[in-house]
Amino acid sequence: MWLDIIIIVLGVAMVLKGADFLTEGAAALARRVNIPEIVIGLTIVAAGTSAPELFVSLVSALKGTPDLAVGNVVGSNTMNCMLIVGCAAIVAPMTISRSTVKKDIPFAVGASVLLMLLALNNFLGRFDGILLLVGFALFMVYSLRQAKNGQGDTPTVEKQRNPWLSALFIVLGLVGLVIGSNLFVDHASNLALSLGISEGVVGLTVVAGGTSLPELATSVVAARKGQSAIAIGNVIGSNVFNILLILGLTATITPLQIEGITTIDMAVMLISVALVWLFSFTRLKVERWEGAFLLIGYLVYLTWLIVSL
């Protein structure tokens, strides 16, 4: 069991570093061919923070453990809204931009509702996956149009790199993501079996926690620096990517039979993003007490998961 835990930690480290390398290399190459920075921010950089979820979910599905794949996304989204927003708001009250309240959060709520409806029969087929991907395409088109009109926040991308070095970063990133994801999924499954825990619960907790580390680190640091728009935008954007792109792509490649993820888990995911939306309407800010409410709510949910094992 301890060996499984050590290799899971190693897998997480490889996945996170791989996502970092892939994002840096791809963004640098994109800048060299004069792709607008806002496009890079909304696509490559945004996808980079969701790369751990993408690779872990895809590898889980291909290895015949769909509950890990779905649990990873549902657990990550719940964790994003309750744990990450909660912690960030406690560190510093988070000011929310009007565009986030009007566009990004409603899209995240809509994506959560769509996933709940599609998963009512405990199955996500290829048609469901294509439907989610169409939703993702619409989200990207709308986001890019808003950005070009100057209505969106513009993420910044770091310094240019030598093109060969950028290509090396991309290759190393992909290698890290693939190897790390395989290690993570295999040994998380082994750990679940040895402890008698369902793969769904492992996906909702251990796997979701590991793949959400980039969002947690980015959001808390951004909140401490007073850059709350980046913190909340990172979380909500990740939620949309997780459902529409990751589950859409995964279900399109290999249909997902869902057994260990309950309606309650889906409902908590929806309630968590709805609460962030509700709190955002109060003077366009998530206050410290609201952050504490979200954090306590997540701890209650986590306790329920453990007690119901």
Q: How many CB atoms lie within 10 A of CB 288?
A: 14
- Considering only residues 186 and 269, tell me which one the structure prediction assigns the higher pLDDT: 269
Question: CB-side exposure of 217: number of CA atoms within 13 Å?
Answer: 9
* pTM exceeds 0.85 for this model: no
Is the pLDDT reported for residue 150 higher than 80? no
Which residues 6+ apart lie within 8 Å of 212 measured at CB? 53, 75, 76, 79, 80, 83, 84
Measured distance CA(260)–CA(46) in Å, rounded: 29
What amino acid occupies position 15? Answer: V
pLDDT of residue 35: 61
% of the chain beyond a pLDDT of 90 = 28
Cα distances from 3 to residues 184, 188, 275, in angstroms, run 12, 11, 39
Region 58-67: what's the mean pLDDT? 83
pLDDT of residue 157: 45
DSSP string, 183-250: HHHHHHHHHHHHHT--HHHHIIIIIHHHHTHHHHHHHHHHHHTT-HHHHHHHHHHHHHIIIIIIIHHH
pLDDT of residue 153: 47
pLDDT of residue 245: 92
Measured distance CA(103)–CA(117) in Å, rounded: 21
pLDDT of residue 149: 66
Is the pLDDT reported for residue 194 higher than 50? yes
Is the pLDDT reported for residue 66 higher than 60? yes
Which residues 6+ apart lie within 8 Å of 35 measured at CB? none
Is the pLDDT reported for residue 112 higher than 90? yes
pLDDT of residue 110: 95
Find the range with the poorest average confidence among 30-34, 88-92, 244-248, 258-262: 30-34
Highest-pLDDT range among 12-16, 101-105, 231-235, 239-243: 239-243
pLDDT of residue 152: 47
Is the pLDDT reported for residue 291 higher than 80? yes
Cα distances from 99 to residues 86, 143, 147, 152, in angstroms, run 21, 10, 10, 7
Region 106-133: what's the mean pLDDT? 94
Find the range with the poorest average confidence among 118-122, 176-180, 214-218, 268-272: 214-218
Measured distance CA(14)–CA(55) in Å, rounded: 12
